[in-house]
């Protein structure tokens, strides 16, 4: 069983990089994720917050969770009238 050793956001590649004890590495392209799951600036902002402040929670959400449902739950979109 592989254990997570580190999870960091790499500003140069714009990826969340996960390194495991068996030597494998996963890079999550954060821009591709935002383009696929975020419908508005509020959802993109929530994803950015997770990336910068809690990259492990971000990686868990993308790899194991349902990011669309999460974003609809935690963000409220109010268009300007």
* Number of separate domains in the chain: 1
Question: Does residue 52 fall inside a structural domain?
Answer: yes
Taking the CB of residue 38, how many other CB atoms lie within 10 A of it?
A: 19
Which range (41-45, 65-69, 75-79) has the least confidence? Answer: 75-79
Residue 80 lies in a domain: no
Question: Does residue 32 sit within a domain?
Answer: yes
Pairwise pLDDT comparison (81 vs 64), residue with the higher score: 64
With respect to residue 51, please indicate whether it lies within any of the assigned structural domains.
yes
**Is residue 65 assigned to a domain?**
yes
- Average confidence score pLDDT of the chain: 91
Q: Which tens digits make up the pLDDT trace of 18-44?
A: 999 999 999 999 999 999 999 888 999
Examine residue 28 and state whether it is found in any structural domain, yes or no: yes
Q: For residue 39, which of 80, 75, 81, 64 has the smallest C-alpha distance? A: 75
What's the domain range around 28?
Answer: 4-74
pTM summary value: 0.85
| 57 assigned to some structural domain | yes
């Amino acid at each position: 069983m592989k254990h997570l050793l580190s999870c960091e956001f790499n500003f140069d590649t714009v990826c969340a990089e996960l390194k495991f004890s068996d030597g494998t590495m996963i890079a999550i392209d954060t821009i591709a994720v935002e383009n696929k799951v975020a419908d508005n600036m509020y959802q993109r902002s929530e994803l950015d917050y997770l990336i910068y402040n809690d990259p492990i929670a971000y990686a868990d959400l993308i790899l194991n969770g349902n990011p669309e449902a999460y974003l609809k739950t935690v963000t409220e979109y109010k268009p300007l009238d």
